[in-house]
Amino acid sequence: MTMEGLDEFQEEIGAEGLADPREAGHARRRHPSAKEYVRIGVILVVLTTLEVWTSYSGLPHGLMITMLFGLAFVKFVLVVLWYMHLRFDDARYSRFFIMGAAGAGILFLVVLLLLKAFAR
Amino acid sequence: MADSTAHAAPAEHTSTGLPSTKLAMWLFLASECLLFGALITTYVLYRGASTTGPYPNEIFDIRYTSVSSFVLLASSLTMVLALTAADQRDFARMRLWLIATAMLGLTFVGGQVYEFTSFYHEGLTLKSNLFGTTFYVLTGFHGVHVTVGILMLLSLVGMSWAGRLPDDQAFPVEMVGLYWHFVDIVWIVIFTVVYLVPQAKPAG
Q: What distance in Å separates the CA atoms of residue A78 and residue A118, rounded to the nearest whole number?
A: 37
Closest alpha carbon to A40 in B36, B184, B40: B184
CA nearest to B79 within chain A: A83
B184 touching A (Cβ < 8 Å)? yes
pLDDT of A20: 38
Higher pLDDT, B13 or A76: A76
Please judge whether A33 and B11 are an interchain contact, meaning their C-beta atoms are less than 8 angstroms apart: no
Quote the Cα angle for A38-A41-A42, to 5°: 90
Q: Which residues of A are less than 8 Å from B149 in CB distance?
A: none
Establish if B204 touches chain A: CB-CB under 8 angstroms.
no
Q: Are strands B5-7 and A29-31 parallel, antiparallel or unpaired?
A: antiparallel
pLDDT confidence of residue A52: 95
Do A31 and B4 count as a contact with CB atoms less than 8 A apart? yes
Q: How far is B94 from chain A (nearest CA, A)?
A: 12
pLDDT surpassing 80 at residue A35: yes
How would you write the pLDDT of chain B (204 residues) with one tens digit per residue?
334 455 555 556 788 888 999 999 999 999 999 999 999 999 998 888 888 889 998 999 999 999 999 999 999 999 999 999 999 999 999 999 999 999 999 999 999 999 999 999 999 999 999 999 999 999 999 999 999 999 999 999 999 999 998 888 899 999 999 999 999 999 999 999 999 986 544 443
Predicted pLDDT of residue A21: 38
Residues A42-49 have a mean pLDDT of 97
Contact B73 A65 (CB under 8 A): no
Chain A residues near residue B182 by CB distance under 8 angstroms: 84
Would you put residue A116 in left (φ > 0), alpha (ψ -120 to 50) or beta? Answer: alpha
Q: What is the mean pLDDT of chain A?
A: 80
* Integer Cα distance of B141 and B145 in angstroms: 6
For chain A, the residue count is 120
Q: How much is the pLDDT for A24?
A: 40
Report the distance separating Cα A84 and Cα B178, nearest Å: 6
This complex has an ipTM of: 0.89
Q: Residue B42 and residue B54: Cα distance in Å, rounded?
A: 19
Q: What's the pLDDT tens digit per position in A5-27?
A: 545 544 444 343 343 333 344 44
Task: Look at residue A3 and tell me whether its pLDDT is greater than 70.
Answer: no
- Tell me the pLDDT tens digit for each residue of B29-62: 999 999 999 999 999 988 888 888 899 989 999 9
Question: What domains are defined for chain B?
Answer: 20-47+63-199 (1.20.120.80)
A83–B76 CB contact, under 8 Å? yes
The whole model's pTM is what?
0.86
At A18 the pLDDT is 40
How would DSSP label each residue in A17-37? TPPPGGGTT---EEE--HHHH
- Evaluate whether B188 touches A76 at the Cβ level (below 8 Å): yes
DSSP B5: E
Contact A51/B191, CB-based, under 8 Å? yes
How many angstroms separate the CA atoms of A72 and B196, rounded? 11
Residues 54-83 of B with CB under 8 A from A: 62-63, 66, 69-70, 73-74, 76-77, 79-81, 83
Q: Where are the domains of chain A?
A: 29-89, 90-120
